């Protein structure tokens, strides 16, 4: 794995935040084309969630979201996304492990993730780390489901 640098987005940082938000948005919208986010939506998310961007050799290769528990789910949610051309190099694991460590400080009720059903690599990645499917849902106007998976802390990780 080439040296990976992971940057957390501080939306109050007028120098770094705009570029980080733009990179996070580009990666999110590339991997989740069925639910693209506007710049304003990403800024709003950065105010309530932890958003990180991963870089290798100066290129943005992935992003992650850690959502704290809310009224809908008592678990923290960790979502890691790696651009297809950078998968299989350990970047997703590094980004996921960083998000997981943070999520565990937010909730004792467990950890969930959400993966677009058409992202077979993402589903394989989650299942290999002990996540088990709990729900599928389709956003209004969409045709591809999102899959919610919950980390089974008792499960032994499978080979990815």
Distances (CA, A) of 28 to 25, 41, 60, 81, 158: 5, 12, 11, 7, 26
Distance CA 33, CA 15 (A): 28
- In the prediction, which pLDDT does 126 show? 94
Distance CA 62, CA 96 (A): 10
- In the prediction, which pLDDT does 48 show? 94
Per CATH, is 4-151 categorized as 3.40.630.30? yes
- In the prediction, which pLDDT does 160 show? 47
Give me the tens of pLDDT residue by residue for the chain, a chain 160 residues long.
569 999 999 988 988 899 999 999 999 999 999 889 999 999 999 999 999 999 999 999 999 999 999 998 899 999 999 999 999 999 999 999 999 999 999 988 999 999 999 999 999 999 999 999 999 999 888 889 999 999 987 655 555 4
Domain boundaries, the chain: 4-151
Q: Which residue has the tokens 């460590």?
A: 101
Distance CA 119, CA 32 (A): 9
- In the prediction, which pLDDT does 75 show? 93
Distance CA 19, CA 55 (A): 12
- In the prediction, which pLDDT does 41 show? 96
């Amino acid at each position: 794995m080439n040296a990976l640098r992971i940057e957390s987005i501080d939306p109050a940082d007028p120098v770094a935040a705009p570029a980080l938000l733009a990179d996070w948005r580009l990666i999110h919208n590339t991997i989740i084309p069925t639910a693209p986010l506007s710049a304003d939506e990403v800024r709003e998310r950065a105010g309530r969630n932890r958003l990180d961007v991963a870089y290798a050799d100066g290129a943005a290769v992935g992003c992650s979201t850690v959502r704290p528990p809310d009224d809908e789910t008592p678990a923290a949610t960790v979502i890691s996304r790696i651009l297809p051309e950078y998968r299989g190099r350990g970047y997703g694991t590094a980004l996921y492990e960083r998000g997981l460590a943070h999520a565990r400080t937010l909730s004792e009720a467990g950890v969930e993730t959400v993966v677009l059903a058409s992202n077979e690599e993402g589903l394989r990645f989650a299942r290999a780390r002990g996540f088990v499917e709990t729900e599928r849902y389709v956003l209004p106007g969409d045709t591809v489901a999102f899959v919610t998976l919950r980390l089974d802390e008792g499960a032994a990780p499978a080979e990815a």
